[in-house]
Amino acid sequence: MPLGERNWDKSESRYCGVETEFHDDMPQLLAYNISSGGFDFVAAPLMDPSYRPSLMGKDCGGSGVLPFAGSDLVLSPSQWSSHVVGKVSPWIDLDSEDEILRMDSEITLKQEIAWASHLSLQACLLPAPKGTSCANYARCVNQILLGLNNMKLWLRIPLLKTDDNDSMDVNSIHPVDSWELWNSFRMLCEHHSQLSIALDILSSIPPANSLGRWFGESVRAAIMDTDSFLTNARGYPCLSKRHQNLVAGFFNHSIQIVVSGKPVNGLPKGSTDLAADHNDRNFDAVQRHPLRPYLDYIGYLYQKMDPLPEQERFELGYRDFLQSPLQPLMDNLEAQTYETFEKDAVKYIQYQRAICKALQDRVPEEKASTLTIVLMVVGAGRGPLVRASLQAAEETGRKLKIYAVEKNPNAIVTLHSLVKLEGWEDTVTIISSDMRHWDASEKADILVSELLGSFGDNELSPECLDGAQRFLKDDGISIPSSYTSFVQPVTASKLYNDVKSHKDLVHFETAYVVKLHNVVRLAASQPVFTFTHPNKSSKGSNQRHKKLRFEIPSDTGSAMVHGFAGYFDATLYKDVYLGIEPSTATPNMFSWFAIFFPLRTPVIVHPGSALEVHFWRCCGPTKVWYEWCVASPCPSPIHNSNGRSYWVGL
């Protein structure tokens, strides 16, 4: 049974599993842990732990039958797939100095994964590497991945503190920073998309910045050992505030919880006599599962989470989904695209506020009834800015004459219908033309546009408004008056793997619009390009180059940069702003998602080293494009040289 029923939440994080010991009767194991215990799935060993290939001939009498937990027929295919995560034998050590152990480990690993794949399991849990050197383990796993079906491999990684040498396990075989262990393993496996992480959560956890790195990685499960729980006054398990926040983060990132271990400090009051031995072959379905109080507490944390705001629920389906940016000059937008953007009330409220202020500055109160302001909406679409302008005029008591300029002939049809329906014929004149080529019969006092893209200038607002400003009066007002793009380095394993799956250069040299979710923002964003309108510059070039230097906080530890998230911030007029830059983002606005610039080869940044990045905005006769690269700590190729893969057409 899922942790809670929330209609909007379909993520995997609502399912909670339990780690079990080996049992050769899988139906009984499921009955006890799922039917009786209430867990959604088991992470269970598939192979008898006493099995060693080197002893097989002696112990099995030459039968050659592997000691798996029953045949594939003991459960239905759906039960195997939905309720069992295979657990590879924890004794395997593929980097051992002992050759027999190493060979036994490799044979066993391949046998168990082959069996799990035969059962169509969704995932198989791999034990953590036994030491800092894991090259042979990674080599064997990589071989398996190259021939694997859709099953995921979850590599078990202990979540160790980065600032405490005493946080090593009892054998002191793991590096202090467990992220380094994971990073080494996944790089040896070439960032394979079917290799994921199962984090072992212990009683002490890393500092916030170090912990945050994992939310941009492919973490599929968090194994909560009972030792990480506290006991409340009534004898029931609970978690520290830091652990609670961590679990909430797991829920938000679709990471499943797996409860592991034995009850700590006895069982909750009233349930002592209900304990059962996991290894007892005679499971009693009536008995209360000893780990049920832990499941109940995890469910309590899940259910007490605040529901997602309406905007977030609307955006759920877009999370970490790569979309190509719009080409507003080359392509005519479809009705559905207009419909989506027009629902963003916040954006048009901000525009209306800006137009109100501009009208009040342009027309003194004493001239409000006699002076008519010429306002041009360039790129009018289906009319939302026309409506906002008329509402601003009504609110301020000013008189307007509006020109609605639009190049999309299909949107022109809608504009004519809107003007007739609303009775705006005496106020609004529709112009079917590209703003860059239209010859206006008079000049405008106010020029209004919504040509901004996720990166500010990436939908060619500078080129369009430079072409349109010839019909703006010398002292005329442009709304927006300026906008700035921003970038920041991010860990984004899913996005990187999605781009990598195309297996070509073009996709790594394309900027994508994406609702960022499973990402880690490694440093504060920094400004890149700024454009001001009207543009009084005599140079007349919209080409730009910016060098940026990012300092990753030292307490983060080492981190992987998969690319850069881009945003914009715009000044519509005076103190009226609009934007998606995280620190200043306009609340509850959904017209824009961030933009993502991937790196062909991810870059590792170590504590104390800086990340130096270059961005270029390049302009040609028929197109505008971006180029980007990393200069330090290790140089990358210049991406999208000469706009060979991605550009915006003029």
In the residue annotation, 334 being an active-site residue is answered as no
Task: Calculate the alpha carbon distances from 554 to 164, 208, 548, 611, 647 in Å.
Answer: 15, 12, 18, 13, 37
Tokens of 279: 């290894």
In the residue annotation, 612 being an active-site residue is answered as no
- What end-to-end distance do the CA atoms of the chain give, in Å? 55
Instruction: Find out whether the peptide bond into 633 is cis, omega within 30 degrees of 0.
Output: yes
Cβ partners under 8 Å of residue 99, min gap 6: none
Closest to 613 measured CA to CA, from 526, 494, 553, 554 = 526
From the candidates 112, 450, 509, 581, give the one annotated as an active-site residue: 450
- Beta strand 84-87 with 41-45 is parallel
- Can you tell me whether residue 502 is helix, strand or coil? coil
From the candidates 459, 463, 509, 627, give the one annotated as an active-site residue: 459
Burial 334-365 (b: 16+ CB within 10 A, else e): eeeebeebbebeebbebbbbbbbbbbbebbee
Closest to 216 measured CA to CA, from 9, 486, 495 = 495
The C-alpha atoms of residue 30 and residue 449 are separated, in whole angstroms, by: 61
User: Residue 438, Cα to own-chain centre: how many angstroms?
Assistant: 42
The C-alpha atoms of residue 151 and residue 113 are separated, in whole angstroms, by: 9
CB 530 within 8 A of CB 567: no
The C-alpha atoms of residue 42 and residue 79 are separated, in whole angstroms, by: 11
Stated as kind and residue range, the H or E segment containing 520 is: strand 520-521
Angle at the Cα of 92 from the Cα atoms of 87 and 98, rounded to 5 degrees: 175
Residue positions annotated with a catalytic role = 450, 459
